[in-house]
Structure 1
Amino acid sequence: MTNNMKHIQFNNVSYEQWKEEAIKALKGKPFETLFTPTTDGITLEPLYTQQTVIEKLGDQLEKQISTIRSLKATKDFSSAQQIFGETAEQFFKNIEDSLERGNQILTIDSRVLFDWDETNISRLASILENNPFKLVLQDKNDVILTVFEQIEPSSRKQVSGYILSKEPIKIDNYPNVRTISANTLPYHYEGANVVQELALSLALAAKFANNENNFAEFVNKFYVNFAVDTQFFSEIAKLRAFKILWKAFTKAYNAESNIAVPIVAETSLRSFSKLDEYVNLLRAGNEALSALIGGADVFTVHPHDVLVKPTDKSIRIARNVILVLKEESHAASVLDPSGGSYFIECLTAEYVEKAWSLFLEIEDAGGIDAYEESGKLQRILEEVTTARLKSIEARKHSLIGTNIYANPEDDFNVETNPLFVDVKRLSTPFEELRLLYKNLQPKISILTYGKLKNFKPRADFVSGYFATAGIVANQSGEIDSIADLLNWINKTDSQYIVFVATDEDTKTILPSILENKRKELIIDVAGRFKEEEKEWVEKGLNGFVFAGQNLVEKLNAIAERLKGEQQ
């Protein structure tokens, strides 16, 4: 009998039916555990349905989708790869190579290792005259700005690009160079969440628009600059939400029609790590795809080793991330690929609502400068940063290769690329732990009791725990008697051990271990034993190793004890 998939129909299932089955699958855990709170102040639901969208948006759904689709500034997702080079000759050679191999927009940070002398400025002028660019400046006095004086007046109308700086830049007779940017990167690296980035982008736009005499002229010079992080769906919704917020913003200035502005973006270095740096490739690919789906116009993929020193190979791979995504996914050929997704549409709407509310709060406070001077901006950013770091350090949020699935033998370069030395990264505490334990060179062991099948899950957890600090802990293997345990303890040259057994065995055996251990030996136990904690600590137990605790604080505390013993 032929099975014709075209004629197979599935029964409609209500949310309540799905919820009932989900509760069964949870086996006693509360249904609420399926809801996920985020650092954006939004709770993600386990299931989004058509009814969810109707309840959230109603007849606003079509308006939301049409607004997003009408405000795409370009028809492309342009590659804007950064140019590197230690010498002027290498730098300009890399520009040529970049253009030949598919780069569409030249990203040039003015901070280079060579001088922007008259010769190099002249060479750059001839290149920018014929190729789109993104210039990253330090201030309005940046010497690289003299490049615009070198371009012939008759050619200036054909020059196109973006100038990224803290304050708007004034250059005359360059109608296709956007010089006013709502650059949210500094706030992103101070810890800003999606809602805050969106609100701050509007607050910057308001500040700059109010300083211009003509709103239409302002819009023609304006663009927004975002960093795209690893939260895939959130970042898609962020870029979509900006377009809706932007339309509301322009209405306040009596704009009569939809005015699209370019969304320029790049991979976030906040989640990049020097540890297992090839995982940065996965992060970059994830971020680039979310930016493509979200509707960014221009995008930069940072090489996976950019935190130290990018190579020709890593630069080529980074450039190809965008080229492959465009060619293989065909998402660039689709207007608003995520449009109509119940989840994305609800998330977009929530970001719009919360970001607009925060934007109005900033404006009521007197604008972004007054809001920052009052200390309110720093306070809300610190709150998010603290919450995010605690989540990372407790391994509730994963940084693969850094705080989970870490390779203890992985080495890394302690030097940081000067261009990104001020970026506040989530992996920094773990990189510092690696250096700390590398200098200490402690002898650490895992003491296991019972059969392998009984202690292996906990032993693997403890092993992975110390791997984040670059430690390969010695394991005792199966020991099935207290006498053998005590004999092992007396013979070991370890300075610190973690005792691993089942809860029942731990409660039975640990008191004997504590009574018979040598005084200077530091012992922790795997697991959380709240009822026995006080008694065991009084008898000489150092503490506990368990899931959910702040790993960085724990390992730093252990290091301090080890230092004391070594001295």
Structure 2
Amino acid sequence: MAEKKLNLLADFPSVSAQQWMDKITADLKGADFNKKLVWKTNEGFNVLPFYRAEDIEGLQTKDAAPGVFPFVRGTKANNEWFVRQDIVVESAKEANAKALEVLCKGATSLCFILKKEDLSPAYIATLLENIQAECVELNFRICVNAAAQLATILTDNFKAKGYDVKKLQGSIGFDPINRMLQAGKELTKEEIVAKAKGLIEAAAGLPFYRVIAVNATTLNNAGAFVAQELGYALAWGNEYLSSLVEAGVDTSLAAKKIKFNFGVGGNYFMEIAKFRAARLLWAKIVDAYQPECRVADCKSTVNGICKCAAKMRIHAETSIFNKTIFDANVNMLRTQTEAMSATLGGVNSLTVLPYDVTFKASDEFSERIARNQQLLLKEESHFDKVVDPAAGSYYIETLTNEIAAQAWKLFLEVEDNGGFYAAVTSGSIQQAVKATAAGRLKSVSSRREVLLGTNQFPNFSEVAAAKVQIETVEDCGCTKGTEKLLPVRGASEFEALRFATEKAAKRPKAFMLTIGSLAMRLARAQFSCNFFACAGYEVVDNLGFATVEEGVAAAQAAGADIIVLCSSDDEYAELAPAAFKVINGKQLFVVAGAPACTEDLKAIGIEYFVNVKTNVLETLKTFNSKLGIN
């Protein structure tokens, strides 16, 4: 028996796609395949329930190799990435102490967020004291007007310390277009290009520092879907690249100075595919410029064209859109899957935001957890040991191709209309992303997009208003300057409902009047309890009552504000009118479900029904209004 080996090909003969479809069709028992098993993405393409080898025949992505043009499988021959932590610098000495501490605890990349008024050689010397710049990636964010000065100071500092500049990796987050989006700043294209060119010249002594940033995280946090974020990011990067080339900057140098910062959301496989598609498309864009190689004996040169210039440098940061204040520990689960998507997708560095970032300044504990989430992926899951493990997956290869096609279409639309700068100044980018965000918020309100602990399965007893220590930044609606694009969170409107409930003089009570069919009353009571708990109401479940009179009496004795009838569709025709009559308007009356007799029940005055098709948010707003909660 030991010598007998399992031959999968022999023991399990091949099954054709048609055979699979025949089996699925039989199992569906007449249900529509497309409606039941095919779902349409925000990007506009369909996702099938299964894929086969023939689905990826002819795709250029499947035959690519890691570290080889067009870099769909990564820009490097390994899957090592930098574990990054951001530090807001209020005091150079304190920030330095924190930086040294987090480096000892596993971080391999730092981002210092600086104030331009503090900038000086002495300040930077204090900030970087005892930090070995050759051993850690150093990133800096500062006002666009001070970026060139910072580059000069860093160059002088590193030169004075005798560093080998070829070992220094990092970035300066110069991104004036992002400033326009976030702050409504009005900048001319000429001054943007002049500042960018000056910065590149000032950073000449830091050959591996990327000093021009494309902060697509702004798009992601504002609610953009995957292909939208990618398509606009490509146009954004091309705006900088083409402008610098026109201003006389060497094409290869300009491309090598651009760094992309992407958000990473909760759509696990789509996000993996996004990063693969991003590298593929950016490589094609840069290659179209035919950048000449300036390095002697470069092994990546093809016919004198620098292929290294086409390597996209990607930093990823976990998204804000799907993070919540209530049941905030779930944020750790969200950021973990997002970190997995980013690292499997081959990013160069990653910031995992702490789970409490939505409601307060993160502390040592939450920052430690965020770092350790990445360290676990490296040390225990060995994600850094395998390059592009998704390669060859019929599903992910198809997603990569589909996302690339949609993003490329969007990129071309922006280019045909004058480029990314023109689109930002006209407000078309902001309007498109806001429209997408509105659609996603609607999906959250109706539970088509689930936020666990917020619009589905909330913690019934949790109160959270007291723990919120930061204010939400909202767009004032002012039209002066460039239209802003601010972060959006899918949970914010549900959280507002619960905060209103917490402030109310009396917490509303929803009482489950369970009667009739055991299975149906239990299922509908559970559904209804979760439904009303999303607004922070106290919910009272019950095992069952013999009569509606008994149930109504118990509800009124308990001080209920809302009575929810939970039974079967067949029984509602008799039970609902009886309960409605006994209640006699003293409490709000709700029927759980969508029975065939709904119209008949409405005809006698029953207004409220809750079921899986109900818009949870809008319905709960109605109940808040009825109960005098604002």
Which of 610, 614, 618 is the equivalent residue of 1:553?
A: 618
Structure-1 separation of matches of 2:317 and 2:411? 23
Residues 37-116 of structure 1 correspond to what in structure 2 (within 5 A)? 37-54=40-57, 57-58=58-59, 61-62=62-63, 67-68=70-71, 71-73=74-76, 75=78, 76-83=80-87, 90-110=94-114
**Deviations 1:15-40, CA, capped at 9 Å, x for gaps:** 22222222333344321111111112
Q: CA RMSD in A?
A: 3.0
- Percent identity over the alignment is 28
Summarize the Cα distance change of 1:448–1:44 in structure 2 as closer, same or farther, 3 Å threshold: same
AA aligned opposite 1:208:
Y
* Residue of structure 1 equivalent to 2:27: 25
In the alignment, what sits opposite 2:262? 226
Matched position secondary structure for 2:213: strand
Map 1:468-547; keep pairs closer than 5 Å.
468-488=534-554, 491-529=557-595, 532-533=598-599, 535-547=600-612
Preserved CA contact (<8 Å) 2:92 2:124? no
**Cα deviation, residue 463, structure 1:** 0.7
> Counterparts of 1:184 and 1:128 in 2: how far apart (Å)?
29
Q: What is the deviation of 1:231? A: 0.8
* 1:241 paired to 2:244: no
Equivalences for residues 211-360 of structure 1 within 5 A: 211-212=243-244, 213=248, 214-255=250-291, 256-259=305-308, 260-307=311-358, 308-360=360-412
Question: How far did residue 491 of structure 1 move?
Answer: 4.3
Counterpart residue identity of residue 20, structure 2 = W
- Given that 1:121 and 1:144 are in contact with CA atoms closer than 8 Å, whether structure 2 keeps it comes out as no
Contact between 1:85 and 1:94, CA under 8 Å: does it hold in 2? no
Aligned pairs for 1:119-138 within 5 A: 120-126=123-129, 130=133, 131-138=136-143
Structure 1 residue 436 corresponds to structure 2 residue 500: yes
**Compared CA separation, residues 370 and 531, structure 1 to 2 (3 A):** farther
Question: Structure 1, unaligned stretches of length 5 or more?
Answer: none
Q: Is the 8 A contact 2:43 2:406 kept in 1?
A: no
Change (3 A) 1:138 1:551: farther
1:251-295 Cα offsets, whole Å, 9 max, x none, are 221232423131111111211111111111111111111111111
Cα displacement (A) at 1:547: 0.7
Offset of 1:123 from its aligned partner? Answer: 1.0
Q: Which residue of 2 aligns with 1:162?
A: 171
Residue 145 (structure 1) aligns with = 150
**Alpha-carbon separation, structure 2, partners of 1:427 and 1:462:** 20
Instruction: Report the CA distance between 1:345 and its aligned residue.
Output: 0.7
Render the CA deviation track for 1:153-202: whole Å, top value 9, x for unaligned.
44573643112242347134332321111210111122211111111121
For residues 153 and 483 of structure 1, the distance between their equivalents in structure 2, rounded to whole angstroms, comes to 86
* TM-score in terms of structure 2 length: 0.82
User: Does the 8 A contact of 1:64 with 1:244 survive in 2?
Assistant: no
Cα distance in 2 for residues equivalent to 1:321 and 1:254: 40
Kindly indicate whether the alpha-carbon contact (under 8 Å) linking 1:402 and 1:468 is maintained by their aligned counterparts in 2: yes
SS of 1:434's partner is helix
Residue 185 of structure 2 corresponds to which residue in structure 1? none
Structure 2 gap ranges (5+): 177-195, 292-304, 475-485
CA contact (8 A) 1:303 1:310 kept: yes
State the shift of 1:81 in Å: 1.7
SS in structure 2 of the partner of residue 473 of structure 1: strand
**Range with bigger deviation, 38-47 or 340-349:** 38-47
Q: CA deviation at 1:60?
A: 6.5
Q: Please give the TM-score of this superposition, normalised by the length of structure 1.
A: 0.90
Q: Aligned pair in 2 of structure 1 residues 124, 494: CA closer, same or farther (>3 Å)?
A: same
Aligned position for 2:301 = none
Give the one of 10, 13, 16 matched to 2:15. Answer: 13
* Contact kept in structure 1, 2:355 and 2:370, CA below 8 Å: yes
CA spacing shift, 1:127–1:388, aligned 2, 3 Å: farther
Q: 1:4 to 1:547 in 2, by over 3 A?
A: farther
Identify the residue that residue 208 of structure 1 maps to in structure 2. Answer: 240
